[in-house]
């Protein structure tokens, strides 16, 4: 299996979510950092349909845990190790669908042509207008 980007281990104990679900597992893995809450929720819903347990962290935590950076974006985490490869396949499909829905664009900063799935220019870092 190829090396997975975004794979990480959440070592800390976290409390989050509308139900105050408590996470103590050290094998929870970060699947995807979403651009916003809606995108994160779309991915979680899709994982749900495949019976993969997942959670969104980031936006919930911003006001709840003072020691964490406040600029966290919502991230989707896979709770069960055994779901990881399927979750990653679902993510890949999700991302290619997102990209297909949005037209590619040309950066006003440097003229680079960028796929629709990107909001920042990968060459100069300028934000899409
Ligand atoms: Zn650029």
Is 125 among the domain residues?
no
Q: In this structure, are residues 54 and 31 in contact, taking their beta carbons and an 8 Å threshold? A: yes
pTM of the predicted structure, to 2 decimals: 0.53
Number of domains in the chain: 1
CA of 80 to the centre of ligand 1 (A): 38
Q: The CATH number of the domain where 89 resides is what?
A: 3.30.70
8: in domain: no
| Rounded distance from Cα 64 to ligand 1 centre (Å) | 36
pLDDT at 59: 58
Question: Could you tell me the residue range of the domain that residue 46 belongs to?
Answer: 14-102
Per-residue pLDDT of 81-94, as tens digits, reads 899 999 999 999 99
Residue 52 belongs to some domain of the structure:
yes
Examine residue 5 and state whether it is found in any structural domain, yes or no. Answer: no
Query: What protein residues have CB closer than 5 angstroms to ion ligand 1?
Result: 107, 109-110, 112, 121, 123-124, 126
């Amino acid at each position: 299996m190829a090396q997975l980007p975004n794979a990480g281990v959440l070592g800390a104990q976290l409390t989050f979510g509308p139900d105050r679900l408590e996470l103590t597992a050290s094998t929870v893995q970060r699947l995807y950092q979403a651009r916003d809450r809606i995108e994160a929720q779309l991915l979680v819903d899709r994982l749900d349909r495949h019976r993969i347990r997942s959670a969104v962290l980031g936006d919930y935590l911003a006001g709840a845990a003072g020691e964490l950076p406040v600029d966290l974006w919502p991230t989707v985490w896979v709770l069960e190790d055994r779901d990881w490869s399927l979750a990653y396949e679902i993510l890949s499909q999700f991302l290619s669908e997102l990209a297909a829905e949005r037209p590619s664009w040309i950066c006003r900063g440097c003229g680079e042509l960028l796929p629709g799935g990107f909001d920042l220019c990968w060459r100069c870092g300028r934000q899409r207008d």
